[in-house]
Structure 1
Amino acid sequence: MAEAAPERVYTEQEVEAYLGENLPHWKLERGWIRRTYRTHSWKSTLMVVNTVGHLAEAAWHHPDITASYAWVEVRLATHSAKGITDKDFALARKIEDVVCWQPGREGGPLEGTPAGDPRFAYIKYDKT
């Protein structure tokens, strides 16, 4: 079996440029790309953690996660490459798309969580 080619590690400048263009809510800090998702409650926090966990396991690329009552921080870096690679960008994009999905804005049959009722509050969506 042939040995896999080493993964390309991006420079800090390349990472910052990529994030600025493609994942503006993610930031490069101390060798990781990071994103904090604000939630309304512990229940919502656990839902985000489980969503990220599912996506990471399916991708076989595992982030570091820190969670508190009303927020979840996701940190990505490719440990085997000792830096940020395409794997990190791809998983960050998938996490962003799923966690920040707002079906009510799409105009289809899925309405999304009810607005204005704190019993159903979920993610504190970023202003875009």
Structure 2
Amino acid sequence: MAPLLDDAAIDTALDDLPGWERDGDTLVRTAKLSSFPAAIAVVDRVAEIAEDRDHHPDIDIRWRTLTFRCSTHSAGGITEKDVALARSISEQIDAG
């Protein structure tokens, strides 16, 4: 199991994750895409990444607005796995 990050490590990670914030034991980012198909394309790419890593975000889809939540449930909070996944999600959002 991945070790939990302490508050200082999470704050440092968030400094390098524009658009992400902490909500308790979760990293959260909401993004608006140009269209519903563009949003679903991002979700599809994130799904592939998550499957490869066996680490899956919670995803809320509202038309062209996506909200991603990353937390390592088995560890009870935020781990390096969540930070790495958040970085990859940001890359997919930025790619549109």
1:1-128 alignment, distance < 5 Å: 6-20=1-15, 22-101=16-95, 123=96
Cα deviation, residue 7, structure 1: 2.2
Structure 2 counterpart of 1:91, one-letter code: L
Q: Secondary structure at the match of 1:72?
A: strand
User: In the aligned structure 1, how far is the partner of 2:62 from the partner of 2:7?
Assistant: 29
Q: Secondary structure at the match of 2:61?
A: strand
User: In the aligned structure 2, how far is the partner of 1:40 from the partner of 1:47?
Assistant: 11
Structure 2 counterpart of 1:30, one-letter code: G
User: In the aligned structure 1, how far is the partner of 2:5 from the partner of 2:89?
Assistant: 20
**Residues 2-32 of structure 1: CA distance to partner in whole angstroms, max 9, x if unpaired?**
xxxx422112342122211x11211101321
Note the aligned Cα RMSD (angstroms).
1.4
Cα deviation, residue 39, structure 1: 0.8
Which of structure 1's runs of 4+ aligned residues deviate more than 3 A?
Answer: none
User: In the aligned structure 1, how far is the partner of 2:27 from the partner of 2:91?
Assistant: 16
**Residues 49-96 of structure 1: CA distance to partner in whole angstroms, max 9, x if unpaired?**
111111111111011000011211110000110010111111111222
TM-score (norm 2): 0.89
User: In the aligned structure 2, how far is the partner of 1:40 from the partner of 1:98?
Assistant: 14
Counterpart position of 1:117: none
Q: Secondary structure at the match of 1:100?
A: helix
Gaps spanning 5+ residues in structure 2: where? none
